[in-house]
Structure 1
Amino acid sequence: MVNALGLVLHPTKPVDRSIEAILAATAAAGKPLRVLARESDRRRVPPGIEVVPEERFPAEVDGVIALGGDGTMLGAMRLLVDRPVPVLGVNHGNLGFLVEVSPPELPAALSRLAGGDFTIEQYGCLEVGGLELATRYGFNDVVLAREGRTGAVSVDLWVNDVQYGYYRADAVVVATATGSTAYNYAAGGPILSPSSGAIVVTPVAPMAGIGRAVVLGAGDRVTLATAPDSAAIAVDVDGTPAGALTHEGRVTAALRADAAQVVRLSADAHASRSRVKLSLLDLPLRPGQLLDLIPPELRQRAHLAMTGGDDQPTA
């Protein structure tokens, strides 16, 4: 039972209508329900939403709605690693592999949530540590990239404290099965089944050493240790800067199971849409060029369905 519902907002995108839909649904529920936001979002939420300090937010919410794209969803999941609660993603972003609900679908989704008509998907993450890094959590990937435009990332690969080889490349990506469709995929790495629980290590533009992706088990512990000939290395976790490595630095990554709970209203439909989105990434067309392939009357009908007929479609 949810007594306190938390909101995690995209830092810049307008999400006012979704917030209004959430407040309307909670008011219609006929039972007391706290709606919480973090202090950092104080100026973006209306009256009726309780603002709490950042450190209190994860401990006080029983469920979370992330209003944004995959980045916002990942941020919400990282907030709750030590105390996972169900997270529903509402897509105010672009492609969105994790988020399931579009803003027009939100009222119906909230009704289903109130009726218990949903399932929970468990997600694991990479627990990341290192001499220069505070422990971080990555649901997609950890990326070691050169800080400048010159030189190369040069690191030794250790698995369970056994050295396996080295990489010399523009970057090295350590990804979960969830993150295998992101930077790993763009770098030519394999897509991993979510049920595999595996980790994949993929070099980006390799120059020497290991030149292909290496798939490891869920229980393996990966260590990447900086070599003396390496360029300065910047470390990103889920696309967020996490620190830098010196010439004697190292990063460790191990899978932490069941680190997040993601709400699914229709797991099959979401999986089908994700496969379509993934296939679109391989097409040699930009989004605007794809729209040009759709007949004008269908474009107009889709636009009116998405906006509720509030405004006129563009040509």
Structure 2
Amino acid sequence: MDRIRLGLVLHPTRDVTPVVDTIAAWAARHDATLAVRAKDRHRVPESVRVVPDDQLAGRSDVLVSIGGDGTMLSALRMAVNDPKPVLGVHLGKLGFLLEVEPPELPAALDRLRTGDYTVEVHSCLACDVCGDDVVAFNDIVLIRRPGQGFVNATLAVDGQQYGYYRCDALVVSTPTGSTAYSYAAGGPLISPATGAVVVTPSAPMSGISRSVVLSPGEQVRLELRPGSGPVAVEVDGLVIREDSTSGAVDISYRHDAGLVVRLDPRRYQERSQLKLSLLDLPLLPEQLRELLPEGLRRQLGRRELPPLR
């Protein structure tokens, strides 16, 4: 690749200045161009080009996501109509999708420039929410307003009624999203190499009480029943609709919708397995410290371990 164009996708609230400065210094040395969305112009050096929010992916060869999994998902959604490789730089707490820590960034950028990386292909859910088209790389969730009833909805697959749910929340996830809300609700872990759609109720009161795993070719429809409590709709953790008591969500699976940069796939998988195992430990952060080797405990000193989520 000759002159690489990098688009920066920034966490909305965290201080990303040290990471952006590292990228800007690297870009100056390698004649690379940097771009950022107009809404983030005040957070980057003057050398970074500013482009309209909806044109960042189209004007970039690679997107660099700086933040946590939420920022990474935002970058993937941004490029869904013209998938570009997305490199995730970890500033979050857990970061299942992210591979690169800030100290590793210059070496990672060198490999981007020479094309020395692989891409991990991700699917998404293409959703029609009461007539509005949205995409979700992790999950789409119908969730009740506390104290005002339950999510009361029917499930249909390819037009055939399966049954109904009465629950706190109803989570429809991709294989990538199976480690997120669906997993917390008791759903199964699905290999990213598997094409599947998982429908999982959280705290079911009646109706379907277990996860339903569907093939990627099946069309899913969730429709609120009369008497349902007010329901919010979340897409990858972002609320897109509030207080709905009627309407339907139609969901289909889209292959090859996102590309994630992988520099060391084996090490990434090992890290992900470790993070999943930590989620199942019923321990507080200070208790986790006691599981570390003595030398590492001394190195950490009195620094507080961050929460897992």
TM bucket (normalised to shorter chain) is over 0.9
Q: Does 1:141 align with 2:104?
A: no
1:194-213 residue pairs with structure 2 within 5 A? 194-213=192-211
Distance 1:20 1:26, change over 3 A: same
Cross-structure match for 2:121: 122
Cross-structure match for 2:276: 278
Output one character per residue of 1:166-206: Cα deviation in whole Å (capped at 9) or x when no partner: 10111110000000011111111111111111000001111
- Structure 1 SS opposite 2:53: coil
Cross-structure match for 1:307: none
Q: What letter corresponds to residue 203 of structure 1 in structure 2?
A: P
- Structure 1 SS opposite 2:135: strand
RMSD value, Cα: 1.7
Cross-structure match for 2:28: 27
**How far did 1:79 drift?**
0.5
- Whether contact under 8 Å (2:157, 2:219) holds in the other structure is yes
1:256-271 residue pairs with structure 2 within 5 A? 256-271=254-269
Distance 1:313 1:21, change over 3 A: farther
Output one character per residue of 1:55-98: Cα deviation in whole Å (capped at 9) or x when no partner: 22222111110000000000010111011101000000000000
Tell me how far apart the structure 1 counterparts of residues 15 and 246 of structure 2 sit (CA, whole Å).
44
Tell me how far apart the structure 1 counterparts of residues 156 and 7 of structure 2 sit (CA, whole Å).
40
Tell me how far apart the structure 2 counterparts of residues 79 and 141 of structure 1 sit (CA, whole Å).
16
How much identity, in percent, do the aligned residues show?
49
User: Displaced runs of 4+ in structure 1, greater than 3 A?
Assistant: 244-248, 312-315
**How far did 1:291 drift?**
2.0
Cross-structure match for 2:307: none
Q: What letter corresponds to residue 92 of structure 2 in structure 1?
A: G
Cross-structure match for 2:247: 249
- Structure 2 SS opposite 1:105: helix
Q: Which runs of 5 or more residues in structure 2 are unaligned?
A: 305-309
Q: Does 1:230 align with 2:228?
A: yes
**How far did 1:245 drift?**
6.4
- Whether contact under 8 Å (2:148, 2:230) holds in the other structure is no
Output one character per residue of 1:115-170: Cα deviation in whole Å (capped at 9) or x when no partner: 22210111010011122x52111000010011232311100001011111110111
Q: 1:181 aligns with which of 159, 179, 182?
A: 179
Tell me how far apart the structure 2 counterparts of residues 270 and 246 of structure 1 sit (CA, whole Å).
40
Q: Does 1:9 align with 2:10?
A: yes
- Whether contact under 8 Å (1:168, 1:209) holds in the other structure is yes
- Structure 1 SS opposite 2:58: helix
Output one character per residue of 1:205-233: Cα deviation in whole Å (capped at 9) or x when no partner: 11111110000001111100010021011
Q: What letter corresponds to residue 9 of structure 1 in structure 2?
A: L
TM-score (norm 2): 0.93
Distance 1:3 1:295, change over 3 A: closer
Tell me how far apart the structure 1 counterparts of residues 54 and 61 of structure 2 sit (CA, whole Å).
15
Cross-structure match for 1:217: 215
- Whether contact under 8 Å (2:4, 2:113) holds in the other structure is no
**How far did 1:313 drift?**
6.8
**How far did 1:314 drift?**
4.0
Q: What letter corresponds to residue 22 of structure 2 in structure 1?
A: A
Cross-structure match for 1:306: none
Q: What letter corresponds to residue 289 of structure 1 in structure 2?
A: Q
